[in-house]
Amino acid sequence: MHIKCVAKVITLLLALKTRYPENVHLLRGNHECRTVNVRYGFYGECRSRYGLLTGARLWRAFNRTFDCMPVAAVIGGLIFCTHGGLSPDLHHIAQIDRIRRPATVPRRGVLCDLLWSDPATGPIQGWRKNVRRNVSYVFGADRVTDFLSRFRFKLVVRAHQCVEGGYQFFAGRKLVTVFSAPDYNGYGLPGAVMSVNKHVKCTFQLIPVAGGAAQNKRWIAGRRTASKIPK
């Protein structure tokens, strides 16, 4: 999102959650952390928009809210959703339930990895240090397969990375990255939204860059439109 609109977007999302608590579910991401969002300008935005004192108080209030947000969700018992990715320290799903909130994000462990880890690029198997982010891990396709098998899920849905086309599959369509911010960092790429129907069929709608090509405004045709959860 544009740096100057962050407070407005968060306020809208929280208002929707308050108005429709059973229909709107918000997950915490790695930017919902003081040390990250202050570096990316959120603190400055709050003070610039709402005044030095009020803005600082508002920034602290937002971050106290972020500390209470859940970090994972399961859809229909089949789809595991989190912002970042998997963790080598996650042995039981109950570990996520046992994360005490409000919680600050540590530099290692399950909470950190759920917010920070990434699928590996290239033929990497297992776990490797996430050198690009200098925190958490990258994981191979084998780790996704193992995770789904152990916990009886069919798909992992995550965000955390800008991908061409707005969404990108990994590990034989067992994991999908969905990135909903169009024109992130001026790259000219669309964002995407994933919908899941009662038959566990996933469809993707692209969010066009403002003033972008008309084809980005329709449901994408062909094989990129829909994907059944792998059996």
Which residues are annotated as catalytic? 31
Q: Which long-range contacts (CB under 8 A, 24 or more apart) does 125-131 make?
A: 127/88
CA of 118: how far to CAs of 121, 122, 144, 156, 218, in Å?
9, 12, 11, 12, 29
Residue 207 CB neighbours (<10 A): 18
d(Cα 19, Cα 30) in Å, to the nearest integer? 25
- The CA-CA-CA angle for residues 152, 115, 43, to 5°, reads 155
For the chain, the maximum distance between any two Cα atoms, rounded to a whole number of angstroms, is: 54
Q: Are 168 and 224 in contact (CB under 8 A)?
A: no
- Interhelix angle for 6-19 vs 42-50, to 10°? 90
